[in-house]
Amino acid sequence: MNTLISLHNKLFGTIELASDFLLPTLARFGFAAVLLVYFWNSAMTKLGSGVTGFLFPSDGAYVQIFPKAMEAASYDSSQLGVYYWLIATAGMWAEFILPLLIVIGLFSRLASIGMIGFIIMQSLTDIYGHGMTDAKTLGAWLDVSSGSLIMDQRLLWITLLVTIIVKGAGPLSVDRLIGRLT
């Protein structure tokens, strides 16, 4: 029995020593593999037309972010004020910039905090703005189903990001490279 316990402790002790490399690197890889293209595709739908599209979001951006306000404005984004433009533009930029920062490992802790805020706002918009309240889409924790779009998936997304907040970007990151240069 002592041999088994000793083997267990050696094996998992080695894994624990590797956790400063393994966990943040795996969390960033998981984010890149699962969420980078998802958020960039979403951001692309928000880009306006032409060279200045990054400054003037498409009507689709307003529909996605402010569904009820757009409906009230007969889907004419020019009827919405500067406040709406500012949020739509910031949301579009956040979907491009924050995932990139996480993947390359630059200011990754701050970018992860920003992404968590983004995911929370996205979820609230889906629930209250788009009315995604059916049981299958909304889901519930600690139930039989593990595939709901909001409660289950987004908890896993946030868990990846919390790992980066706690452990940093890891050794394969711009943050680490900058740390070595200073």
Burial of 72 (0-12, 13-18, 19+ CB in 10 A): exposed
SS3 126: helix
pLDDT digits (tens, 9 = 90+) for 143-152: 878 878 889 9
Average model confidence (pLDDT) across the chain? 91
| pLDDT tier, 182 (very low <50, low <70, confident <90, very high otherwise) | low
Task: Record the pTM.
Answer: 0.88
Summarize the confidence of residues 80-104 as an average pLDDT. 96
Of 24-33, 133-142, 159-168, the least confident = 133-142
